[in-house]
Amino acid sequence: MRRGLAAGFAVVLAALVTVSLMGISPPAPVPASAAPTAFSAERAMAHLAAISSRPHPIGSQEHTDVREYLLGQLRSLGVEPTVQRATTNRQTNFGEVRNVHARIAGRASTGTVLLVAHYDSTPKGPGAADGGAGVAAILEAARALLSGPRPRNDVDILFTDGKEAGQLGAQAFTAANLLDPRRTVVLNFDAKGTSGPSTLVETGRASSWLLPSLSEVDRPLAWSFTAPLRRIAPEESDFAVFRRANFPGLSFAITEDTARNHTGADTLAAVSPGSVQDHGDKALSLAKSLGDKDFAEYRRGASTYFTALGALLSYPNWLVVPLAVLAAVLFVAVVWVAARRRGARLGAIGLAASTFVLPVVVTNALAHLAWLLLKRIKPDYAHIGTGTTYHPELYQAGLLVLSLVLTVVWYLRVRRWWSTEEVVLGVWAWLTVLSSVCAFLVTGAAYVTTLPLIFGCVAVLAAFRWGGNDPFWSRMAFAAASLPAAVVMVPLVDFTSRGLAFAGPPLVAAGVLAATALPLLDLLRPRRPTLLPIGAAVLAVALVVAGSVLDRVDHDNPRQTSLIYAMEADVGKAFWISYDPDPLPWTARHVGGTEDAELAVLAEDATPGSLLSYKGGRASLAAVEAPRVTVLRSYRDNGQDAAVLRLQVLSGGAQRVSVYAETAEHTILDATVQDVRMGKLTRSLLSRDPWNWGFSFIGVPADGIEVELRVRGSGQLPLRLVGHRYGLPSVPELRPMPEDVVFSARPGNLTVVSRTQRMDLAPR
């Protein structure tokens, strides 16, 4: 009877884990035959096909073509778009951007719902998912919205420019003060992968006010631990710019199949229509819901939130610390009662807590070793800059089983020395510490350990109160913490968005989740308990081997490479540069490991401050023009010990130009670029001296840019000019790229041309 109860408990736990995992998936795509007021992924994919046939980075003709398509589609919907043309900067990155902005006027507006996606791509791929999927979803959502009754509030559409160049378009839009943050909600749609659900990854300052609308959405996948994690390991998005400008809002992203992100493999064929459907369902539903809200009732306030069995649950953040305190108090109470009723020893609990570190550390070490071995066995994996593979699912399953194996082995070992209560309380001690630390430092993540701990402690205290001294009920109660843990920790265990190279935190979560259920081993009493970890270890190895066999590179899952052409115009020398650890044959024929001082200079020009190792080889000279600068005016301020240089910088056909000044004998006091003030720069841009001042400008106009420098010093000021062109030049040794090879997320598909000029400063 009791063994049957324990088995039933295990079945329920397994069902919770399974349902939680299955819930992290996108919906089925809706066909074009759906009602006009419904969002259809098939209709959205037609837009995606039109805008993602080729790379369209800022400043390219393809980029202009995409913008014209968007303007035409918005006009066909009956709204009149405008193009915000602006020069803006984020620190030392400048650019000329063209944001596309349109408004669906509300019936009696009290505020604005702003739908945002970026329409530029990287130069290495067509950006079908990043960020074409968001653009296509918003276009189709706008069509569906206009097919029904107009919402009360304005619904604005913003396709930002220059996101891949440093969120320049979002910066320009917020700087222009076109919308009031107190009467605007931003809904941002982006991607770092090509498949998976549209997940809420970040919120603004009013999540408490917005979450009820999100709860009405089908599949409201949202976990508040994602936002602080993105800020610990920064993943800059347009939404981050809006958030810093005090706009409330929600940011969604497609986060699976990350091996294609920022590569030539981010194509239309790779994008999951279900992911686009999920993006669009959320955009349309939230536009309707928030579009009918009274923005006069807008209130700031942050909440902790998470999706549990398909429902979005939340509570205000002011409860986080009290709940953590409650969890700690309950834990102390359980320890005290366990000591009195079950003879639990504080020393044993402490030793159990300290030894629990071992399976966590060993799991992470083995995961790291497995990734290193996989890269040795399949060198193509090392070329993928995101630290994962095209199909990592079997690898991930194997690592998760490995985490379970090591946790069970640890438990079987320590149970020889300490009681079930002592071992589990050692694990719960870590939950208590994590709950308290997160409550103060990572508020949005505190619920992951706080809620299972509170639930488990209450269950144990109830068992001690009404179960008498029967160890069966206390052990069942200790295992009860695994039920909420299965709901709140499974999203942490799913590490498809982080890749195999970043498997550590998910494996820790998996180990903790498994540890909360360990008392079931004592209740189920398997006849040969050692067979469980042995069988699981065999399964883990089988999954990894199967992953290695099935996860192949081919035309649909191409090899990835990095290749840059860099030329020093002053001396007439050129090199090929690759950041591949072990270049593919197509790449290797250009780079042979040249160690040349001039190569080091050009590698620094190509990717300033990069810590990536590179290989190089001599290249033929290409017929490409270098940037140049002319002096428009040179004078000295009256009574000031500073020379003023007014310069015109011509890119020579490059889409991006960088200007560096030698500061060994001069100091740049101030600067303006296209009349945008830069100010004094004290931090080095390049890793080599003396070029310690500079800026980059992307989207250079045909007539160049004007720069004004205030310089302390005399004589000539050396300037180094670096032009970045999209694509590789036509030189004899360059052969067409094989069909099964694309450019990776590492620097590549660029032609970099550098020159140095000396500017005469006005005499004192």
Pick from 260, 505, 269: which is nearest to 389 by CA? 260
* Listed residues 505, 523, 550: the one ending a domain: 550
Please, which pLDDT band fits residue 608 given cuts at 50, 70 and 90? confident
Residue 30 lies in a domain: no
Pick from 422, 485, 409: which is nearest to 453 by CA? 485
Which tens digits make up the pLDDT trace of 296-347?
A: 887 788 899 999 988 999 999 999 999 999 999 999 999 999 998 888 899 9
H/E run at residue 303: strand 303-308
Residues 132/255, Cβ–Cβ less than 8 Å: no
Q: Do 237 and 356 fall within a single domain?
A: no
Q: Please tell me the least confidently modeled range out of 273-282, 413-422, 461-470.
A: 461-470
Q: Do 199 and 75 fall within a single domain?
A: yes
Instruction: Give the residue-averaged pLDDT of 547-554.
Output: 86
Structure tokens at 335: 């320890």
Question: Does residue 746 sit in helix, strand or coil?
Answer: coil
Residue 497 clears pLDDT 70, i.e. is over it: no
Residue 150 lies in a domain: yes
Q: Do 159 and 258 fall within a single domain?
A: yes
Tokens 């540069």 belong to: 577
Pick from 647, 625, 585, 630: which is nearest to 724 by CA? 625
Please, which pLDDT band fits residue 1 given cuts at 50, 70 and 90? low
Q: What is the 3-state secondary structure (H, E, C) of 80-148?
A: CCEEEEEEEEECCEEEEEEEEEEEECCCCCCCEEEEEEECCCCCCCCCHHHHHHHHHHHHHHHHHHHCC
Structure tokens at 229: 């994690």
Which tens digits make up the pLDDT trace of 726-762?
A: 999 999 999 999 999 999 999 999 999 999 999 988 8
Which CATH number do you get for residue 173?
Answer: 3.40.630.10
In angstroms, the CA 366 to CA 374 distance is: 12
Dihedral angle over CA of 217, 221, 224, 227, nearest 10: -100
Residue 321 lies in a domain: no
pLDDT at 607: 87
Structure tokens at 387: 């630290």
Instruction: Give the residue-averaged pLDDT of 496-505.
Output: 74
The size of the chain, in residues, is 764
Count each helix (H run) and each strand (E run) in the chain, helices first. Answer: 23, 23
Judge residue 648's burial from the number of C-beta atoms within 10 Å of its C-beta, 0-12 exposed, 13-18 middle, 19 or more buried: middle
Question: Does residue 579 sit in helix, strand or coil?
Answer: coil
* Listed residues 550, 568, 598: the one ending a domain: 550
Q: Do 637 and 659 fall within a single domain?
A: yes
Please, which pLDDT band fits residue 526 given cuts at 50, 70 and 90? low
Dihedral angle over CA of 465, 468, 471, 475, nearest 10: -20
Residue 498 clears pLDDT 80, i.e. is over it: no
Which CATH number do you get for residue 648?
Answer: 2.60.40
Question: Does residue 378 sit in helix, strand or coil?
Answer: coil
In angstroms, the CA 312 to CA 221 distance is: 8
Q: Do 504 and 415 fall within a single domain?
A: yes
Which tens digits make up the pLDDT trace of 555-585?
A: 889 999 999 999 999 989 999 999 988 899 9
Structure tokens at 285: 């539903």
The region, left, alpha or beta by phi > 0 then psi within -120 to 50, assigned to residue 699 is left
Pick from 378, 402, 379, 391: which is nearest to 547 by CA? 391
Residue type, 636: R
Q: Judging by DSSP bridges, how do beta strands 656-661 and 676-677 pair with one another?
A: unpaired
Q: What is the mean pLDDT of the chain?
A: 90
Whole-prediction pTM value? 0.93
H/E run at residue 200: strand 195-203
In angstroms, the CA 567 to CA 153 distance is: 54
pLDDT at 669: 87
Q: Do 295 and 331 fall within a single domain?
A: no
Q: Do 511 and 566 fall within a single domain?
A: no
Pick from 101, 80, 111: which is nearest to 158 by CA? 101
Residue 683 clears pLDDT 60, i.e. is over it: no
Which tens digits make up the pLDDT trace of 229-272?
A: 666 655 678 999 999 999 999 999 999 999 999 999 999 999 99
Residue 27 lies in a domain: no
Please, which pLDDT band fits residue 682 given cuts at 50, 70 and 90? very low
In sequence order, the 6+-apart residues with CB closer than 8 A to the CB of 368 are 503, 504
Residue 549 clears pLDDT 90, i.e. is over it: no
Helix ranges restricted to H, 110-255: 134-146, 168-175, 207-215, 226-232, 238-244
pLDDT at 97: 96
Judge residue 347's burial from the number of C-beta atoms within 10 Å of its C-beta, 0-12 exposed, 13-18 middle, 19 or more buried: exposed
Which tens digits make up the pLDDT trace of 41-96?
A: 999 999 999 999 999 999 999 999 999 999 999 999 999 999 999 999 888 889 99
Pick from 235, 240, 215, 203: which is nearest to 444 by CA? 203
Residue 31 lies in a domain: no
Residue 625 clears pLDDT 90, i.e. is over it: yes
Q: Which long-range contacts (CB under 8 A, 24 or more apart) does 14-20 make?
A: 16/309, 16/483, 16/486, 16/487, 17/486, 17/490, 19/309, 20/308, 20/309, 20/486, 20/487, 20/490, 20/491
Helix ranges restricted to H, 221-319: 226-232, 238-244, 273-291
Q: Do 397 and 542 fall within a single domain?
A: yes
Q: Do 331 and 423 fall within a single domain?
A: yes
Q: What residues form DSSP beta bridges with 102?
A: 157
Instruction: Give the residue-averaged pLDDT of 169-177.
Output: 95
Q: Do 350 and 245 fall within a single domain?
A: no
In sequence order, the 6+-apart residues with CB closer than 8 A to the CB of 354 are 426
Question: Does residue 352 sit in helix, strand or coil?
Answer: helix
Residue, of 117 and 595, whose pLDDT is higher: 117
Residue 651 lies in a domain: yes
Angle, in degrees to the nearest 10, between helices 471-479 and 447-466? 160
Q: Do 131 and 169 fall within a single domain?
A: yes
Q: Do 359 and 378 fall within a single domain?
A: yes
Preceding peptide of 452 cis, ω within 30°: no
H/E run at residue 562: none
Pick from 144, 184, 135: which is nearest to 284 by CA? 144
In angstroms, the CA 159 to CA 168 distance is: 12
Cα first-last separation, the chain: 99
Residue, of 687 and 570, whose pLDDT is higher: 570
- Report DSSP state, residue 129: I
**Triad 602, 607, 612: Cα angle to 5°:** 100
Which tens digits make up the pLDDT trace of 96-146?
A: 999 999 999 999 999 999 999 999 999 999 999 998 999 999 999 999 999
Structure tokens at 166: 């440093």
Residues 190/237, Cβ–Cβ less than 8 Å: yes
Judge residue 653's burial from the number of C-beta atoms within 10 Å of its C-beta, 0-12 exposed, 13-18 middle, 19 or more buried: middle
* Listed residues 257, 277, 309: the one ending a domain: 309
Domain membership of residue 226 as a residue range:
41-309
Pick from 481, 674, 608, 690: which is nearest to 94 by CA? 674
Instruction: Give the residue-averaged pLDDT of 16-22.
Output: 86
Residue 79 lies in a domain: yes
Residue 392 lies in a domain: yes
Instruction: Give the residue-averaged pLDDT of 156-182.
Output: 95
| Total structural domains within the chain | 4
pLDDT at 234: 56
